[in-house]
Structure 1
Amino acid sequence: VRASLVEAGSHDRIVFDAGNMMRSAGQLELDVRVLELPAGKDPDEFIRASAAEWPGLVEKARPLVDYVIDIGTRNLPPDSTIQERERVARQLLPLLTATENNLHQRQNVQRLAIRLRIPEPELLQWAGAYRRDQAPHRSATHQAAAAPHANGRPSGPARERYCLATLLKQSHWLFEANRLLRELAATDDAAAPLLAPLQNQDFGREDHRFLFGLIETASFDGAPDILSTIEKEAPDEIMDLVEEIYPEGHLEAFRHRVSALHATELASIMQDHGRGNDPRHRSQEEFLKTIVSLRLERLKRERTERYFFVNLGGHLPDEAGSEPEEDQAQMRMYTRAQRILEQALRDLNHRRQNL
């Protein structure tokens, strides 16, 4: 995305340097707008040949921030995942916050938050982290200290990998997880639709969703050897994932086999999840906690998206005909389900302490 906005090349080549333009606009208090000419047209030649069209093009010129956001998000589908939108946000934030004008920075981030349906505080946090990483005197020790997840807990992808690794070893635990979710659903009919058995959508990454689907199908079919069944159905890239995360008996082996990219996250998981050598009942409690956490993260993501649509007077793509009252009812349902899951986590933690 950024490559389409900031191009490196010879000095005689005209490029669109959005970062410097944003910075200059803030310093000089300019309202910079972008005017697009028909493809392949030189500005001088176009003005001479089509002078009558020029005022109309000038009238349609867009603010620089809108142009940058439009270009950066034009390939995002309406149903893009939170991971896809986060990736675009992290690419655009350095450009949108290049200005030294704090008011302009905040306005730019607000526009990006609305477009990507990501809470503004999260975008501001990512922008701040980027600026700290780019600080010239930032020490290696400081960088290493900032590597773990911001809240000190393993992030979503790490939880997903732990869950999948456990199911590859103990596929029948999927039924225990679904039983727990059904029990939670039975406590509140209004929230029950959001407490359905574990689903592909509980996983954020596409490869994780695909692998879970294979595990689920093999488990429901009663396959005696889950791994052999998956090998027959999975493409090479999914088998690469399986080889990377399969625990080979316990989580300690999993820690040694996983890529360096997830080493920090998994170190936290090893601490939280008993390092794989606890009694069976305790390991299952940890697995159930992970399942509840995955569902809770999913509902928080979906609730955030609904918040943006409801407060902007819009609707989700699959609910184009919904009314405001229905939108508010959906938000209340998410709140009820979230409270049930949070209480379930507290109960599981209490049960673990008493083991």
Structure 2
Amino acid sequence: MLDEEGNPDIDEVELLGGKPDAEEDGWDVDDDLALPADVEARAGVDDEDGFYSPPTRGQPPAFYWPNSSRLVADHVTAGAFDSAARLLQDQLGIIRIEPFKQHFLTAFARSRTAFEGLPSAGPNFAYPLRNWQESSGKNGLPAVGLHLGDLANRLQTCYHLTTSGKFAEAIEKLRQLLLSVPLLIVDSKQEVAEAQQLIDICREYLVGLLLETARKELPKDSIENAKRNAEMAAYFTHCQLQPVHQILTLRTAINLFFKLKQMKTCASFCRRLLELGPKPEVAAQIRKVLAAAEKDPTDAHKLHYDELNPFVVCSRTFTPLYRGKPQVKCPFCGASYSPDLAGGICDVCQVAEIGRDTIGLRISVVQGNK
């Protein structure tokens, strides 16, 4: 039907299904929804009272760092010490975390900066990022606070202490240096190799200095103790040290073996020392000892030392583990032990379980995300 103007004449009652006062129910737009209370509170900005509810506080950038990285240093700087401890255990077999306490706290403290905001409002914190140029929000990672060069400088201090004969202090600083390596973050495989080399250097010096410290504590009241003293001095000469320190170990062994009438082995030590190019006055003295030893090139006693058979020293018993014989290692520092010592705590680093299977040091994304 058309109205007077020619337009369709629509009966609204008929359109609504014969219900004049009925609401259109063809669209599900019911306002009666069970909304959470906090949502309704925030929506109250436009209510009759004009009440304002501030937005929910977000998470700081450090909250997301552990989820974005498998590197120990990133977890430590975020304050996620538990997950950092688990990573240390999986990667390096470290089961004693207490010695890392100061390292963790230092790394955590330097991961953020504080600056003054509004008066009486408390400090504000900023989180420097190492990937700030390409990061966005949750993808940021903390700036690096510990560098390989810093550890190299600390190693020089350990060298000076060793040269000065301050073995106890050198041992302490070498251990602290060793614990710092897993907290590094580097960018290349070359730097990863240098970090591993730093671990090896620390191990060699620690094993040698622990060996020498134990040797000096031996009594000297019998021939058996004198023989053991000479054996340990000989083992020390096989630790991979800097030439200046290698010369000192050989001079000690030469003196002990000469006094014990072990002339054949003493002469061998003299030749090894001369090959290292000592100072002229030292070289002159050693040549005199060599000449005296070569007059009667025999050994008066049978010692547990075979210089021609390659070996490593057990870091607890200080006895040789010759090539081809069973041995277990510390997964962190690489110190060697007799197989019966597996499962104990390493005497060198004092934090890792001897013989534990691990995936190895992880301090760079170039090593993979394992």
- Scaled by the length of structure 1, the TM-score of the pair is 0.26
**Structure number with bigger Rg:** 2
- Scaled by the length of structure 2, the TM-score of the pair is 0.25
